[in-house]
Amino acid sequence: MNLRLSLPLILFLIIVPQSIQGSIFKTFSNTLSPKSPPYSFVFPLSGNVFPLGYYSVSLKIGNPPKDFTFDIDTGSDLTWVQCDAPCSGCSVRTELQYKPKSNTVPCSDPICSALHWPQKPECPNPKDQCDYEVEYADQGSSMGALVVDQFSLKLLDGSSFVPRLAFGCGYDQYFHSAHPPPATVGVLGLGKGKISILTQLVSAGLTRNVLGHCLSSKGGGFLFFGDNVIPSTGVSWTTLVSPINHYTTGPAELLYNGKQTGLSGLKFIFDSGSSYTYFNSKTYQAIVNLIGNDLKGKPLKDVKEDKTLAICWKGAKPLKSVLELKNLFKTLTVNFKNGRTNSQLQIPPESYLIVSKTGNVCLGILNGSEVGLQDSNVIGDISMQGTMVIYDNEKQQLGWVSADCDKLPK
């Protein structure tokens, strides 16, 4: 099982000045959409919460184009790929790695200064490569150099174009032994920072600063850039807290079975790079106690020998689906207070429980304080299944609506 937690602890990315746009967006194909920008893009996803622990997207990079699979991550900004430069600690075979072709970004390039802001890059020789290092909350890390290459991107209408985008060529990877690396070749950073792929496309005037994803509980789903995919009705919205770089919402209160829990004033980070949902220690313990009290007298027993997640229960017989026990658990509700109005994110049992390989049911809400998240609360993949989640950076709001994530929008 791959237990991911993506929020970066060390990440030197913030502002990309307007002056660098020309250096990145020099080359476009002649297969541009007949319609004028801004465009919308839809990318099919693979993966699941369990047993894989991640959702991934396949993107074509280089000339000739080569497929690379990326872990989609709204909790970080930098996109990077394992790189044959050569590579130390890479988790995929050499032939699956990206091969740089004298396309590293020099440390004197303004984009390198932006990458390291507010620090300055070490640059004794202006022709030296622009280095990066990112460390994640699950103790994994990637180190490498910034490169520029062309991405072959399909538009919603089926046409395509090939922008040149900056990303990381990671030649030194570390994966914590407790968290086996995913089978993906890199990370697609979808955060709000100016180095993210979306922000680069927005800076070139090619799409709106809006993205979203729809993660299917059956596996797969889709990712989108632009706002043409968003339903015109039915979407609930809440304000994004700024100037925080993560997609942070709140304050909110947590309800259990529609009733108040006394847990209020909470902020939540929405992070597609985290497999599970994390609450701070106080919130986690309160929810665990409420669930435990609710299960008294029910045909479920604690099972310590199942180490899939921190808390698992055993039924009278091995389970095949969470839906078999749905009536024994209650819905959690995140109640966002937006001025005079409220918006509610429902988290039903199937969005916080998994069935382990041995047929036990396990709690997909974990104690974030135990993994270095301190007082943060994170809504991970498990609690976003079956929902279109929309990150609107233009209006500084986050939205959600129930959706069929198995069907690609047209």
Q: Which residues sit opposite 20 in a β-bridge?
A: none
CA 153 to chain CA mean position, Å: 19
CA of 360: how far to CAs of 106, 160, 171, 274, 354, in Å?
A: 53, 46, 40, 22, 8
Helix or strand (DSSP H, E) at 248:
strand 248-256
Query: In the structure encoding, which two tokens stand for residue 31, read together?
Result: 């297969």
CA distance 81 to 98: 7
Q: Cα 370–141–103 angle (5° rounding)?
A: 155
271 included as an active-site residue: yes
Go through 78-90 and write b for each residue having 16 or more CB atoms within 10 A of its CB, e for each that does not. Answer: bbbbbbbbebebb
Q: Which residues contact 68 (CB under 8 A, 6 or more apart)?
A: 58, 59, 60, 61, 81, 96, 98, 185, 186
Chain centre to alpha carbon of residue 403: 18
Q: Which of 71, 73, 131, 227 is catalytic?
A: 73
Rounded to whole angstroms, how far apart are CA atoms 77 and 200? 11
Helix (H) or strand (E) holding 110: helix 110-116
E runs forming strands in 281-394: 301-302, 312-314, 332-338, 341-347, 353-355, 361-363, 365-367, 377-379, 387-392
Write 352-356 long-range contacts (CB < 8 A, 24+): 352/277, 352/382, 352/383, 353/322, 353/325, 353/329, 354/49, 354/50, 354/308, 354/309, 354/322, 354/382, 355/50, 355/319, 355/320, 355/321, 355/322, 356/50, 356/306, 356/308, 356/309, 356/312
Q: Which residue has the tokens 């968003």?
A: 230
* Contact (CB, 8 A) for 173 and 87: yes
* Catalytic residue from among 138, 227, 271, 381: 271
Residue 71 annotated in active site: no
Which residues does the annotation mark as catalytic? 73, 271
